[in-house]
Structure 1
Amino acid sequence: MSAQAAKVSKKELNSNHNGADETSEKEQQEAIEHIDEVQNEIDRLNEQASEEILKVEQKYNKLRQPFFQKRSELIAKIPNFGVTTFVNHPQVSALLGEEDEEALHYLTKVEVTEFEDIKSGYRIDFYFDENPYFENKVLSKEFHLNESGDPSSKSTNIKWKSGKNLTKRSSQTQNKASRKRQHEEPESFFTWFTDHSDAGADELGEVIKDDIWPNPLQYYLVPDMDDEEGEGEEDDDDKEEGLEDIDEEGDEDEGEEDEDEDEGEEGERMKEKMTNRKH
């Protein structure tokens, strides 16, 4: 092939290659546009599904209300149901100091109410008997989500009785413990009512709404681990006592065998003496 023919062939190849690239880019652009159209349809269906799911949730929330009410009436017959449920819950119990538990012994009922829109938020109500800590009969905390999606929260102002503010006492206790390098008590459970720093990630509120409220009985019935450990220790003690009894019996049997052997040897010696006397 001549040098001129080679140059012509290269030009043709480059021309064909550029044409293929242009076709490919055009097809890719068209594909991207079609993907965007399809994605818009998917988003439209997702939005429609959300609306329908919301209607279903609203429907069943109303249907559940009589059962929640009946459950609350039955729970009211069980002393310390609320505080026991909280103490048995692994996450909530980590937030409870000793005095928090004492105050929660006056808790009679916990209720979670989702707002009618559901997506806009919910409220948690804590009902209390007359108690030595605060005047309120009901302590509430609400969580809201506005139209722009920004979360916020608000709560009842706790009317503490003189010298009974557990949130201040908790802070003082922690400062003393820090100075003495002792184990620090957790912040008071009741500081949760005044904490609105991150309403969108309120773990305690979510745990109560999504875990405890749907089925509090599962946590009330959690077995006391201390009792189980105590029973295990008793079983171990019984086993050790049994082994000791076996060892003692074994020692007694060995003693009896030794005595039998001694008596046998003594008998042989007596026979030998009698034989010698006869001779």
Structure 2
Amino acid sequence: MAAADKGKKAKVAEEGGSPSPSPTASPEFLQSISKLQEIQDELEKINVKASNEVLVLEQNFNVLRKPVLVRRNEVIGTIREFWPTAFISHPILGDLLNEEDRKILKHMSSLEVEEAKDVKSGYSIIFNFSPNPYFEDEKLIKTYCFNEEGKLSIMCQPIKWKDGKGTNGNGHDKGGKRPYTSKSFFTWFSEAVKSDGRVDQIAEIIRDDLWSNPLRLFQEEVDAMGLYGEAEGEGDKGFGGGNEGAEEDEGGDKEEVEDDDDKEYYEEDGDGEEEDIGEDEDDGGTDADADEDE
């Protein structure tokens, strides 16, 4: 018996641990555990109160954010392909897209994340789409709900794919090319609760990263393509857009250039070249005066 006890102690020493308390603990030990439990219960009450107050505070700030988010969406609406560009630029979300997904995402017009009035109850992720050749839906919505016990449930609807389209491997690229085989991001919209009952990482990234600051992601993509330098002075609202402002200038017969207090006027001659009218008249007057002096 003594040899067995020595063997157990040696094993504990090798593992770097310490012997567990004796089953017949002393009154002092039991009293300490009881006091510790009381303190832990007190801390738990404070934690619950803090959590509730944080939720109330978050709800109040959501009210303040709402009109600002509306203004942000209005400005984003003037930038062509803003949300697709920001989505693709994300280091994780972008890798979830196959070739066909990227084509579909080009038709995404806006993104919304709607928090429940009671923040802890959940939120909805809404992808808005313009009319497109892939599906009938104008909105793809996935809602995450939590009950009082914190158990997660997900509400989502299958996408109404048009004939020949979808994420089941039957879709083909234009021209009857071979079907795309990699998993589509759009299957996420109809996926149910994960086996471990947690919100999936995609939802968390969209809510906490993409929705929180899409401008950062958009700028990273634009910077990588060097489009800021090209867009300066073109007056184009779009991402990689055209030259509407330049076309209007070319369509006019006369362009006024103002330099300090002097004004010069330019007019196109028959060959499409610009002729400086103001300077010629001045030069002509000077030459005539010179002839008279002679």
> In which range does the TM-score fall when normalised by the shorter chain?
0.5 to 0.7
Verify: 1:36 aligned to 2:30, yes or no: no
Q: Could you tell me which residue of structure 2 aligns to residue 207 of structure 1?
A: 205
The residue type equivalent to 1:120 in the other structure is S
Verify: 1:104 aligned to 2:105, yes or no: yes
- Is 2:165–2:171's contact at 8 Å kept on the other side of the alignment? no
The residue type equivalent to 1:145 in the other structure is F
Q: What secondary structure, in the 3-state scheme, does the structure 1 residue paired with 2:125 have? A: strand
Q: Could you tell me which residue of structure 2 aligns to residue 142 of structure 1?
A: 143
In the superposition, relative to structure 1, how do residues 132 and 186 fare at CA in structure 2: closer, same or farther (>3 Å)?
same
Pairwise CA distance, 1:215? 0.4
- Is 2:165–2:172's contact at 8 Å kept on the other side of the alignment? no
The residue type equivalent to 1:215 in the other structure is N
Identity %, equivalent residues: 38
CA distance in 2, matches of 1:27, 1:218: 59
Q: Could you tell me which residue of structure 2 aligns to residue 67 of structure 1?
A: 68
Which has a greater percent of strand? 2
- Is 1:85–1:219's contact at 8 Å kept on the other side of the alignment? yes
Post-superposition CA distance 1:168-208 (Å, at most 9, x none): 137999xxx9xxxxxx8541111001111416141111100
Structure 1 runs, 4 residues or longer, greater than 2 Å off:
169-173, 223-228
- Picking from 179, 182, 192, the partner of 1:196 is 192
Q: Could you tell me which residue of structure 1 aligns to residue 183 of structure 2?
A: 187
Query: What TM-score do you get using the length of structure 2 for normalisation?
Result: 0.62
Aligned residues: 198
CA distance in 1, matches of 2:181, 2:212: 29
CA distance in 1, matches of 2:225, 2:120: 43
CA distance in 2, matches of 1:188, 1:41: 49
In the superposition, relative to structure 1, how do residues 172 and 30 fare at CA in structure 2: closer, same or farther (>3 Å)?
farther
Q: Could you tell me which residue of structure 2 aligns to residue 263 of structure 1?
A: none
CA distance in 2, matches of 1:65, 1:159: 30
Pairwise CA distance, 1:164? 1.4
In the superposition, relative to structure 1, how do residues 107 and 151 fare at CA in structure 2: closer, same or farther (>3 Å)?
same
The residue type equivalent to 1:191 in the other structure is T
Q: Following superposition of structure 1 onto structure 2, how do residues 86-235 of structure 1 map, counting pairs within 5 Å? A: 86-165=87-166, 167-169=167-169, 186-198=182-194, 200-223=198-221, 227=225
CA distance in 2, matches of 1:96, 1:137: 20
Pairwise CA distance, 1:158? 1.2
The residue type equivalent to 1:103 in the other structure is I
Post-superposition CA distance 1:257-279 (Å, at most 9, x none): xxxxxxxxxxxxxxxxxxxxxxx
Post-superposition CA distance 1:222-265 (Å, at most 9, x none): 1468758xxxxxxxxxxxxxxxxxxxxxxxxxxxxxxxxxxxxx
The structure with more radius of gyration: 1
CA distance in 1, matches of 2:88, 2:209: 14
Query: Which structure 2 residue ranges, 5 or more long, are not aligned?
Result: 1-21, 227-294
- Is 2:169–2:181's contact at 8 Å kept on the other side of the alignment? no
Pairwise CA distance, 1:38? 1.0
In the superposition, relative to structure 1, how do residues 118 and 170 fare at CA in structure 2: closer, same or farther (>3 Å)?
farther
Q: What secondary structure, in the 3-state scheme, does the structure 2 residue paired with 1:83 have? A: helix
Q: Could you tell me which residue of structure 2 aligns to residue 85 of structure 1?
A: 86
The residue type equivalent to 1:69 in the other structure is V
The residue type equivalent to 2:130 in the other structure is D
CA distance in 2, matches of 1:104, 1:194: 17
CA distance in 2, matches of 1:113, 1:144: 12
CA distance in 2, matches of 1:68, 1:156: 26
Which has a greater percent of helix? 1
Query: What TM-score do you get using the length of structure 1 for normalisation?
Result: 0.65
The residue type equivalent to 1:205 in the other structure is A
- Is 1:170–1:188's contact at 8 Å kept on the other side of the alignment? no
In the superposition, relative to structure 1, how do residues 106 and 172 fare at CA in structure 2: closer, same or farther (>3 Å)?
closer
Q: What secondary structure, in the 3-state scheme, does the structure 1 residue paired with 2:73 have? A: helix
Pairwise CA distance, 1:128? 0.6
